[in-house]
């Protein structure tokens, strides 16, 4: 990418203070930016960096006033965060592969492809698959029999989507995620061995869902494992068979959710949290990182923490007492000694 500061300012409806012909090649953090970078300053906690940054240009709010000499070009905008988001979306588009279907991809003749489709090298798309308009599929993706994919979907390298799963519009699936692998279902046998239970359901991702890298979502034993619209899953998450995750819920990395659990709408779940199977979590529940949820949470808007998870406030009180235990033990021992 090569753009002048003037071109970027025009795109963002900003005002240039400095060299409007400076060339921008990439974004960067204000404290680490190299020559040719564009960065931003919104939180004045980082103001000191603007006076020493090597970036070619810095986005700032219209009311920003420097307290020292500045040696870079400023682009003043109405709102820094919305402007940098708009620019990064533009930049991301510039680094995507060129549109078109690779000649070394393998696509079954029965596949239905929409308009403006990109398919990368060594991707395999099986029979009876349907892919709607404006989808971008990176190299080395596997798409199984009967999968349906909506509009404006991006599938990054190495993703595996098993047979009959359904992907909604505007979804993003990051590298090496697995959608529709077998659920962990085994029947114990009289001799102590385990017999595999066929997993014949599917996974459904509704619209505007994002799945992080190396996340695995198991297909249902029967029926559907469902990730509802607007939900965002981080990297390295395990979603077991027949789980339902509600709308606009966010889940951080390394969380595990056991089979048939239902998570509500607009929940916020910290990293490395664990959920037992066959429980329900109400809407807008917040689960702190590394918590273990072993029972249903029925109250909407609850905050829980700990292992097993309890009310957030109760946990803090209990932890405060826990930290006092060594001192309390010494006092008790001293009291016992004094009695003697």
Note every long-range contact of 33-42, with CB atoms under 8 Å and residues 24 or more positions apart, other chains counting: 38/5, 38/8, 38/75, 38/87, 40/80, 40/83, 40/84, 41/80, 42/80, 42/81
pLDDT in tens, the chain (340 residues): 899 999 999 999 999 999 999 999 999 999 999 999 999 999 999 999 999 999 999 999 999 999 999 999 999 999 999 999 999 988 887 777 768 999 999 999 999 999 999 999 999 999 999 999 999 999 999 999 999 999 999 999 999 999 999 999 999 999 999 999 999 999 999 999 999 999 999 999 999 999 999 999 999 999 999 999 999 999 999 999 999 999 999 999 999 999 999 999 999 999 999 999 999 999 999 999 999 999 999 999 999 998 888 788 888 888 888 888 888 888 888 888 887 6
Of 189, 249, 197, 187, nearest to 218 by C-alpha is 197
Q: Rounded distance, CA 104 to CA 116, Å? A: 18
pTM confidence score: 0.83
Which domains, and CATH codes, for the chain?
3-94 (3.40.1390.10), 102-312 (2.160.10.10)
Kindly state the DSSP code that residue 223 receives in the 8-state scheme: S
Distance, in Å, from the CA atom of 169 to the CA atom of 206, rounded to the nearest integer, reads 7
Q: Is 156 a catalytic residue?
A: no
Name residue 239's beta-bridge partners. 217, 257
Distance CA 237, CA 177 (A): 9
Of the candidates 26, 108, 241, 278, the residue annotated as catalytic is 241
């Amino acid at each position: 990418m090569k753009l002048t500061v003037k071109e970027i300012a025009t795109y963002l409806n900003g005002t240039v203070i400095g060299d409007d012909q400076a060339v921008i090649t990439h974004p960067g953090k204000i404290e680490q930016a190299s020559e040719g970078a564009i960065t931003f300053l919104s939180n004045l906690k980082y103001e000191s960096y603007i006076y020493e940054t090597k970036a070619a240009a810095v986005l700032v709010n219209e009311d920003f006033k420097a307290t020292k000499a500045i040696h870079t070009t400023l682009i003043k905008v109405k709102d820094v965060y919305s402007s940098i988001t708009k620019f990064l979306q533009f930049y991301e588009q510039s680094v995507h592969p060129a549109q078109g279907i690779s000649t070394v991809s393998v696509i079954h003749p029965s596949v239905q492809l929409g308009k403006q489709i990109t398919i990368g090298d060594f991707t395999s798309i099986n029979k009876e698959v349907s892919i709607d308009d404006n989808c971008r599929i990176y190299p080395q993706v596997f798409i199984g029999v009967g999968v349906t994919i909506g509009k404006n979907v991006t599938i990054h390298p190495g993703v595996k989507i098993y047979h009959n799963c359904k992907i909604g519009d505007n979804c993003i699936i990051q590298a090496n995620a697995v959608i529709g692998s077998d659920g962990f279902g085994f029947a114990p046998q009289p001799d102590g061995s385990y017999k595999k239970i066929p997993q014949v359901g599917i996974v459904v991702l509704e619209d505007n869902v994002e799945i992080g890298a190396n996340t695995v979502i198991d297909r249902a034993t029967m029926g559907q494992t469902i990730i509802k619209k607007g939900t965002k899953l981080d990297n390295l998450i395990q979603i077991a068979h027949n789980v339902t995750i509600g709308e606009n819920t966010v889940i951080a990395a390394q969380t595990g959710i056991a089979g048939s659990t239902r998570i509500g709408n607009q929940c916020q779940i910290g990293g490395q949290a664990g959920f037992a199977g066959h429980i329900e979590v109400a809407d807008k529940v917040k689960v702190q990182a590394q918590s273990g949820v072993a029972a249903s949470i029925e109250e909407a808007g609850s905050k829980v923490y700990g292992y097993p998870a309890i009310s957030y406030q109760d946990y803090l009180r209990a932890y405060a007492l826990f930290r006092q235990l060594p001192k309390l033990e010494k006092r008790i021992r001293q009291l016992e000694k004094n009695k003697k």
